[in-house]
Structure 1
Amino acid sequence: MITVRPARAEDAEALPQIEQSAGESFLAIPELAWLADGDNISAERHRTLIAAGACWVAADEEGRPAGFLSAGIEGDALHIWELDVRLDRQGQGFGRALLERAVADARRRGLAAVTLTTFRAVPWNAPFYRKFGFRILEGAEIDRRLASLLEDEVEHGMPSDQRCAMRLDLR
């Protein structure tokens, strides 16, 4: 049984470890294996995102956080900053439950869209989001905010040809 609830300040310390565990999935992709040792969002940043009210935790049967989704309101969109599930709990519906909760929250808030940046071909990235109706934005569809995020990712070592911005229209 998966329980999705709003993240609480006391969850912030556990979230970087979940992100680290989730990152180990990249070890299966040689050219992206370096991401398994990448920088994680700090507990302090998580506390800031949690306080803003658009972060959720998926807890396992014992009530322990197994995954999280951190987002923020950016103009008329809910922007997903991070969605991670502990490596040992991947493929069990935690990510799906978190994404469904975030989309429902964005609808409740009357937002126009949910956005994110991710890898085009990594199975648990763009192909996962496409199952929920997200589409990859191309060319002029990529607004200034998303273009800036993609540029920042490239500056931090992400391969530009493998990254994309995605959007789920809610209106």
Structure 2
Amino acid sequence: MPAHIRLAVPDDAPLLPPVERCAAQAFRSIDELGWLADAAPMTVDRHRQLIALSTCWVAVDAQARPMGFLSAERHGSDFHIYELSVKQSVQGQGWGRRLVETAMEYARLNQLACVTLTTFTQVPWNAPFYQRLGFEVTAGATLGKRLADILAQEYGCGFEPGSRCAMSWRVPQVP
């Protein structure tokens, strides 16, 4: 079977942190963010929680090995992406875009209002990538408490002020 995207299953959970660690190696090319390459990935237990909610998808290779994943969770009428990671060896081949489009389709099929996330403003494979997919920066009065709290937590971890942003994609309403 060729490479494809599918819902993650419980057996995938221990395979996802190594994918995230591999993907994070790309941050070594940015001096002030190189430390992220050594940061702890999402825990296996957290992956299991999101897999149990059927809100985690994996891109698998022809041998059914995960080469990328997207983990998200519903929050009321929003669908929040917590992590998108693609192994360095297959970055730039469209797997990240396809995983995000899968989450967007989930939101549409479940009649949610928007897909949200937080990301780096100036990293080319972060905010600019999401903007190409139709996401917009959410700030000020439209930010909302949930996203503001997430950003505050991220800044509390030591990120440079203004380096992160919240983004959202409004799900098109079907007439």
Match of 1:73 in 2: 74
* Shift of residue 125, structure 1, vs aligned partner: 0.4
Distance 2:132 2:62 in 1: 26
Distance 1:50 1:40 in 2: 16
Match of 2:86 in 1: 85
Q: Does 1:126 align with 2:156?
A: no
Distance 1:16 1:10 in 2: 13
Give CA-to-partner distance per residue, 1:8-51, whole Å, 9 cap, x none: 00000010000000100000000110111111101111001110
Partner of 2:14: helix, strand, or coil?
A: coil
- TM-score normalised to the size of structure 1? 0.97
- What is the identity, as a one-letter code, of the residue corresponding to 1:49? L
Match of 1:147 in 2: 148
Match of 1:4 in 2: 5
* Shift of residue 52, structure 1, vs aligned partner: 1.1
Gap regions ≥5 residues in structure 1: none
* Shift of residue 89, structure 1, vs aligned partner: 0.9
- What is the identity, as a one-letter code, of the residue corresponding to 1:132? L
Across the aligned residues of Structure 1 and Structure 2, the Cα RMSD in angstroms comes to 0.9
Alignment of 1:101-112 (within 5 A): 101-112=102-113
* Shift of residue 115, structure 1, vs aligned partner: 0.1
* Shift of residue 165, structure 1, vs aligned partner: 0.1
Q: Percent identity?
A: 47
Distance 2:3 2:129 in 1: 19
Match of 2:58 in 1: 57
Where has structure 1 moved over 3 Å in runs of 4 or more? none
Tell me if the contact between 1:2 and 1:94 (Cα under 8 Å) persists in the aligned partners: no
Partner of 1:147: helix, strand, or coil?
A: helix
- What is the identity, as a one-letter code, of the residue corresponding to 2:123? V
* Shift of residue 158, structure 1, vs aligned partner: 1.8
Match of 2:47 in 1: 46
Give CA-to-partner distance per residue, 1:127-163, whole Å, 9 cap, x none: 0000110001121111000000000001112223110
How many matched pairs? 171
Gap regions ≥5 residues in structure 2: none
Distance 1:42 1:24 in 2: 18
Distance 1:106 1:40 in 2: 25
Match of 1:13 in 2: 14
* Shift of residue 108, structure 1, vs aligned partner: 0.4
Give CA-to-partner distance per residue, 1:55-77, whole Å, 9 cap, x none: 10001222211000000001111
